[in-house]
Amino acid sequence: MKAQCLCGAVRFDGQLVDDAVLLCHCQQCQRWTGGGPLTTVRVKDVTIEGADNIGTYYASEHGERGFCKTCGTTLYWTMRGKPPAFLPVGLLEDQSGLTVKEEIFVDHRPGWLPVFEGARQSTEAEEMANLDEFLESMK
């Protein structure tokens, strides 16, 4: 997996965990991306070139959001202090072979945005009920 921001100051190298595209419809993600969900792939073994250009923002107790200080690109979502875990799919050099498998916080989906048929759907309440399990999986 290779990925970069709009201006190229930040570049990622690493592995895709699988072929799944994951959408988060929460309001923080809508504001952060500028509209629609945060649309990500899960990554591992990530190395970063240009890390000095990354700004971080903590919108919630657990999450860390990275952005490019030069061009403003949405770079990653991860647990505070952890390496990038989810990259926006648009940063990837190669988006082939990916499928939308999961949508979360679907109760916050705006009315103009259709459902991805076949993708697992979960609400904010369902996600919050599984928070401990998720946090454990991110360790």
Among candidate residues 115, 110, 95, 113, the one with its CA nearest the CA of residue 20: 95
The answer to whether residue 21 forms part of the interface with Zn ion (CB under 5 A) is: no
Distance CA 137, CA 131 (A): 10
Among 21, 41, 43, 68, binds Zn ion (CB under 5 A): 68
The sign of the torsion formed by the CA atoms of 106, 6, 78, 119 equals positive
State the Rg of the chain over Cα. Answer: 14
Among 29, 91, 100, 106, binds Zn ion (CB under 5 A): 29
Phi, psi values for residue 15, rounded to 5°: -120, 140
Among candidate residues 8, 13, 76, the one with its CA nearest the CA of residue 39: 76
The answer to whether residue 85 forms part of the interface with Zn ion (CB under 5 A) is: no
The answer to whether residue 26 forms part of the interface with Zn ion (CB under 5 A) is: yes
Phi, psi values for residue 102, rounded to 5°: -150, 135
Among 16, 17, 46, 71, binds Zn ion (CB under 5 A): 71
- Compute CA 35 distance to the chain's CA centroid, rounded to the nearest angstrom: 14
Candidates 8-16, 58-66, 79-87, 124-132; binding stretch for Zn ion (CB under 5 A): 8-16
The answer to whether residue 123 forms part of the interface with Zn ion (CB under 5 A) is: no
The answer to whether residue 24 forms part of the interface with Zn ion (CB under 5 A) is: yes
Among 70, 121, 122, 123, binds Zn ion (CB under 5 A): 70
**Residue 55 CB, nearest approach to Zn ion (Å):** 10
Write out the residues near Zn ion by the rule CB under 5 A.
5, 7, 9, 24, 26, 29, 68, 70-71
